[in-house]
Amino acid sequence: MSNLCNLSTQLENLKNKALCLTTVMGPENANLRATIASDTELMTQLKDALTNDQLTGEQLAELLTDRVLDPALRSAQQQQQSARDALGKSFEEAKTNADRLTNSYVLKPRSKRAQAKIKFDTSILAVTGIVNKLAAVDRRLTRVTNDINTMCYDNDSTSDEDDGAVDSTDPTAGAARALKAQNEAKLLEAHQSKREQLTTEQQHLQQQLFKYFDQTLGGWSAMSKHDKQKLSLPKINKQVTARDITDAFKAYTSHRAAEYYAILPYINYIAESYNPEDGTYAEAPDKERKYDAVPKCLQPAYDLQSELLFREILSCIGQAEMAKITSTFRCGVNKQEKARTAVGDGVAAFRNLLAKHGKNDAYTITDLEDRFSAAPHDFTFGSPARKVQNLRAQLSEVLQLGVKLKASQTMIPIIDILSDRHPKFAVVLHQYTNGGQTPNDCAITLEQMFSDIEETSSNIERAVGSEIWQAQAHAYLASGYRSS
């Protein structure tokens, strides 16, 4: 009975504390307030029942389990789940914010040149890091080699002096000379071991530098290391393209990192830096300003390597063509920029060959736009795959120069024509009927569509034979179709 009285007293104390707790809770804890109020009511009932001897021990245990323990367990489980949901929601929000930041306008490269600049900065950082390490190893290697040479010279001099002043009657002096010779031999061996270690480290860094260019700059590692080619530029005329010039330099510089490691990042950057808005390429470092834009650790090598490249270009194109870029000329879409190559500056010569002869002025862009506006008519007869092949080179120029083609003038008329020629084209090309995500600049989407046309054309030919294209009497020809 005394135990029940004690329990009654404890319930009274607990009820009072619960009531105090509910007075300080805010409105956001309404559910918990309701639970405490319900439990307070329960504790009042228990106190009355215990005082009047209306409950047995089993009834008390069952009542406490149903009204206190089970609700408390469910509440704890709900709180645990709520915490998990909140944590998951916070993670998803953080991930969404990170993705939004990554894809934001601020971080996203806004032009082809911006993308090329990012690659260039990364390349310069890697190259200067390796070159600085190489310079440090070279300095240590020079010191160790000088120490070895000095020790060998001193040993030879001491040996000659000892040979002239040998006192066979003094065993102490002989022992001292032997000990000295032994110590000098150990020291010399340690220096030689250090020189071998530094030489190995030097070779490793050199290989690391060469391997970096093989793996990063335009996939040049695909070429065999034994296939070094001489520089062979296409004939400079109105038909030459920027791609022709760039490909020639890539073929020449493949696996020549040992010769051109300091200028390779600049050559690659210039090749990829074309700005279609004004028809210009990124500037090369200025020889007349002693290449002050080049990191100091690269400047001596850059100067020598750029001179070497200049001579190679000169021997390839001749003095007459070189004179066209060593004298001042105008370039750009509207010939708005002046350019000139300093004698001996191979990197600037490469840049100005692209600027002068790379077919990147307003006339070239207009010609390409006109060519693709007329392209739909090509697909009214003959093999569609062959028509695509005929347009591939010009589409590469469009992509290189950033020419903006309109889907309404190119893609959609081609889709209409081919859909009439064979129903398979209507099914495959349906995804392109809106002109892709950028219908007013559809060159990339057009390239994807060309691939689908080639594949579909090949499938049709396998099924019915290639003669289908010659046998067709196309509706567009009969109706007098003209490309817009």
Task: Reduce the secondary structure of 149-206 to three states and give it as a string.
Answer: HHHHHHHHHHHHHHHHCCCCCCHHHHHHHHHHHHHHHHHHHHHHHHHHHHHHHHHHHH
pLDDT-derived band at 338 (thresholds 50, 70, 90) equals very high
Query: Is 414 domain-assigned?
Result: yes
Whether the predicted pLDDT of 421 surpasses 80: yes
Task: Indicate the number of domains in the chain.
Answer: 3
Query: Is 237 domain-assigned?
Result: no
Using the 3D structure, point to which of 101, 118, 151 is the last residue of a domain: 101
pLDDT of residue 57: 60
Range of the domain at 401: 363-478
Q: Is 349 helix (H, G, I), strand (E, B) or coil?
A: helix
Whether the predicted pLDDT of 360 surpasses 70: no
pTM summary value: 0.56
Q: Is 407 helix (H, G, I), strand (E, B) or coil?
A: coil
- The answer to whether residues 350 and 253 belong to one domain is yes
Rounded distance between C-alpha atoms, residue 303 and residue 167, angstroms: 61
pLDDT of residue 223: 43
Whether the predicted pLDDT of 28 surpasses 80: no
- The answer to whether residues 355 and 369 belong to one domain is no
Q: Over pLDDT 70: what percentage of the chain?
A: 67
- The answer to whether residues 356 and 290 belong to one domain is yes
DSSP conformation class of 344: T
Rounded distance between C-alpha atoms, residue 456 and residue 324, angstroms: 48
pLDDT-derived band at 358 (thresholds 50, 70, 90) equals confident
For the segment 200-206, the average pLDDT, to the nearest whole number, is: 88
Q: Is 275 helix (H, G, I), strand (E, B) or coil?
A: strand
- The answer to whether residues 414 and 333 belong to one domain is no
Query: Is 109 domain-assigned?
Result: no
| CA–CA distances in Å: residue 31 to residues 43, 81, 379, 403 | 18, 16, 72, 64
Whether the predicted pLDDT of 221 surpasses 50: no
- The answer to whether residues 302 and 321 belong to one domain is yes
Q: Is 236 helix (H, G, I), strand (E, B) or coil?
A: coil
Using the 3D structure, point to which of 361, 389, 404 is the last residue of a domain: 361
For the segment 375-396, the average pLDDT, to the nearest whole number, is: 90
Torsion, Cα of 27, 31, 37, 39 (10° steps): -150
- The answer to whether residues 384 and 461 belong to one domain is yes
For the segment 113-121, the average pLDDT, to the nearest whole number, is: 88
Per mean pLDDT, which of 168-172, 177-181, 254-258, 446-450 is the most reliable?
A: 446-450
Query: Is 318 domain-assigned?
Result: yes
pLDDT-derived band at 216 (thresholds 50, 70, 90) equals low
For the purposes of burial, counting CB atoms within 10 Å of the CB of 426, is it exposed (0-12), middle (13-18) or buried (19 or more)? middle
Query: Is 265 domain-assigned?
Result: yes
* Nearest residue to 272 via CA among 219, 313, 329: 219
- The residue written with tokens 């990042």 in the block is 265
pLDDT of residue 104: 43
- The answer to whether residues 418 and 340 belong to one domain is no
Whether the predicted pLDDT of 445 surpasses 70: yes
pLDDT-derived band at 236 (thresholds 50, 70, 90) equals confident
- The answer to whether residues 326 and 346 belong to one domain is yes
Residues 6 or more apart whose Cβ sits within 8 Å of residue 205: 130, 133, 134, 137
Q: Is 433 helix (H, G, I), strand (E, B) or coil?
A: coil
Query: Is 186 domain-assigned?
Result: no
* Nearest residue to 355 via CA among 368, 376, 336: 336
- The answer to whether residues 350 and 396 belong to one domain is no
Query: Is 317 domain-assigned?
Result: yes
> In terms of pLDDT, which residue wins out, 400 or 289?
289
What number of other Cβ atoms are within 10 A of residue 127's Cβ?
A: 22
Structural contact between residues 342 and 348, judged by C-beta atoms closer than 8 angstroms: yes
Using the 3D structure, point to which of 343, 361, 379 is the last residue of a domain: 361
Rounded distance between C-alpha atoms, residue 139 and residue 202, angstroms: 11
For the segment 35-46, the average pLDDT, to the nearest whole number, is: 60
Structural contact between residues 372 and 408, judged by C-beta atoms closer than 8 angstroms: no
Q: Tell me the per-residue pLDDT of 118-175, one tens digit each, with 9 for 90 and over.
A: 989 999 998 999 999 999 999 999 998 998 888 887 666 555 555 555 555 666 766 7
- The answer to whether residues 311 and 385 belong to one domain is no
Query: Is 155 domain-assigned?
Result: no
pLDDT-derived band at 105 (thresholds 50, 70, 90) equals very low
Whether the predicted pLDDT of 258 surpasses 90: no
Least confident of 222-231, 304-313, 331-340, 407-416: 222-231
- The answer to whether residues 432 and 464 belong to one domain is yes
When the pLDDT of each residue in the chain is averaged and rounded to a whole number, the result is 77
pLDDT of residue 344: 95
Which tokens belong to 429? 């090309």
- The answer to whether residues 291 and 351 belong to one domain is yes
Rounded distance between C-alpha atoms, residue 404 and residue 422, angstroms: 29
